[in-house]
Structure 1
């Protein structure tokens, strides 16, 4: 199978099980360097990372692959309602195909919000030795009342303001993108959702990033990683920062990521000297 067109404006489609996904690539291709795979938040897409992927590639010297999950950005629409375990399904059923199709050899999964959860689920559920590290930014492992309250506010905004029109600038199907996220999180059956057990099975280094003032989750999400992970965990708790550290504290996020990535690269390059 041919690999992706490794460019910011690719001509070759990314098709997984008959579904076409929007994607962009920056920096060196997977056969030249380690790849950072960016997984967007619940209302995100490739375009909504703005210039962060390009800056990340420049700062780390690694390749960066960013794609829009089904139902987001310019990817194919998704059938609603989404199942309550949609993040697990994205991790187990879709992400392996993305990595294969991209020709990834060694990678860091870098997820934001729901994307961070998907990254953690993948690393904790699928044995994939290509994954050398995780960067989990504002992850969710269980629901919290304050986060659900913010999601309820988002529903009100969507229904009473021009939020849908603003989303249409980035999403082919803004209604589907919003409902596919919001309806699941506000479903009564989702209150008890908890996937923290995947942390017990992580076997690669983790960088956990969160804004101290994150409105969608408390530091209990990060503490869960710190207390449960068998693998090494680095923490970056950012002041004056809410749910979007990549924009609100972009320099700090880039610096932390570059240091973490460089350390992983040194480990991969280290020669084992026979005794």
Structure 2
């Protein structure tokens, strides 16, 4: 939180498929310090310290987040306006949040967001599935998700590799994004080529700033935190 109350729109963070509030680590504090804005992060249902999810993720889980946990969070925090920042699958969710809550959304920031399912996405998840056959990897995940770790892993792999999910994309919703957008993506992202940020920037109806980061993989805010924070600070400097 800023040292003094800010009238500027706060930033709401949406985590990735294996993420949680804790896994953002020091990034929210750095973002807060650099921008002078409040920064909020939350665990989606089934992740981190939230309650267990009662079943499987619905096939429309990316779109439905805007009317589910996200809607409850902004209502609970009484946010009249906000900036939504999503990492990975959280980026796709953030796009939907920017559209479904357009009157309140000051800006959209996506980081390593997938806009569709491509071969690199599938290959990256298949490779991760092999790595998670090591019990030590699941134990590491359990540090952040507790007894929900196996559900978190299965939800990610099962959703993205399901044959019925192959046709999913953001193409229909992106033209409804009217607010300014910052689209951050690592060129070496193992889960998505630069075609993803290019599509997001191209199809968004509002002004979009594309930020491709060389020698950067799927987690720019951890790999190059200072650079990402500086990008966000510059992008938001002229916004309320």
Q: TM-score if structure 2 supplies the norm length?
A: 0.95
State the alpha-carbon separation in 1 of the partners of residues 178 and 210 from structure 2. Answer: 17
1:60-114 deviation digits (Å, cap 9, x = unpaired): 0000000111111010111332112111111223311211111112211000001
Once the 2 structures are TM-superposed, how far is the Cα of residue 216 of structure 1 from its aligned partner?
Answer: 0.3
2:145 to 146, 162, 171: 171
For 1:17-96, list aligned pairs within 5 A.
26-27=1-2, 32-96=7-71
Aligned partners of 1:89 and 1:229: how far apart in 2? 19
- Greater RCO (CA < 8 Å, at least 6 residues apart): 2
Structure 1, unpaired ranges of 5+? 1-25, 266-275
User: Which stretches in structure 2 are left out of the alignment for 5+ residues?
Assistant: none
Q: Is the 8 A contact 2:34 2:233 kept in 1?
A: yes
Q: How far did 1:241 drift?
A: 0.4
Say if 1:221 and 1:28 are closer, same or farther in 2 by CA, change over 3 A. farther
How has the CA–CA distance of structure 1 residues 132 and 28 changed in structure 2, closer, same or farther, with 3 Å as cutoff?
farther
Counterpart CA distance in 2 for 1:248 and 1:137 is 12
**Bigger radius of gyration:** 1
> Matches of 2:215 and 2:184 in 1, distance apart?
13
Corresponding residue number in structure 1 for 2:168: 193
Residue 260 of structure 1 aligns with which residue?
Answer: 235
Q: How many residues align?
A: 239
Partner of 2:119: 145
Tell me the distance in 2 between the aligned counterparts of 1:156 and 1:198: 33
Equivalent positions of 1:125-274 (< 5 A) are: 126-172=100-146, 173-265=148-240
Cα distance in structure 2, aligned partners of 1:253 and 1:238: 9
Distance 1:103 1:29, change over 3 A: farther
Q: Does residue 1:120 correspond to 2:95, yes or no? A: yes
CA RMSD in angstroms comes to 1.5
